[in-house]
Structure 1
Amino acid sequence: MFLVKPERRPLLQLAATVLVIALGLASRAFPQWLPDSLGKYPGDALWAMMIVFALGMIATRMRTWQLALWSLLICFAVEFSQLYQAAWIVELRSHTLGHLVLGSFFGWFDLIAYAAGVAVAAIVDNVALFKRR
């Protein structure tokens, strides 16, 4: 199933990216809609899903497992970059867009949320977002 060479449809990938961004922003703006026990992790998982779909717009022929792996590496790299706290990047992260893209504080549980988001997005990508030859 995940070894099929995909031919992604960029417009569907774009639509999925925009939808996931909207859901992610809503999860942070309206946390009362989600169980308190989930905390901020649905937003983290949605951020990872956004990476998968956005990368899928560019990598239209990459296999789903490769897309998932690259997306997870990007998510992990961004998370580990939060350990770097130089003044210039702290300033960048203090702005809304910088915070949304780069985060601010490292968290081990964020890595689990990213893995879950990438897994869900890979399934969606494999099942719905590309046509088989």
Structure 2
Amino acid sequence: MENSNHNTPLHNSLMSPVKPVNLLPDVPANQGSRRLTDKEQKDCDVIERLIKSYFYIVRKSIQDSVPKAVMHFLVNYVKDNLQSELVTHLYKSDAVDTLLNESDHIAIRRREAADMLKALTNANHIISEIRETHMW
């Protein structure tokens, strides 16, 4: 069965190219108007190109500004709320003791450093005694 409703308003709106929004009143075409001179036509073309260029610049500026503004507000929100959120979760959790415990590898390194300090202090004491001893 072939669909013969190709002229329905819905079909026409889906298939037609998107037209730009025109907020200006329609200008009547050829209502006894004179033909533009070559200079006037060139001036109109230049003005049209300048307007298109201006709108391109404005569109590009908005395209650049919107992501920057979104990121600005996101970063400021995170900056303002991060500490309070972290502190809230820290005090709510039962893991405070676990978080404050010294990890095993840090405890081992601390003991090794204390043993090394004790050995170096002892070696320094022995060297000092040897210096003070007179051989003659």
Normalising by structure 1, what TM-score? 0.23
Higher Cα Rg, which structure: 2
- Determine which structure has greater relative contact order: mean sequence separation of CA pairs < 8 Å that are 6+ residues apart, divided by chain length: 1
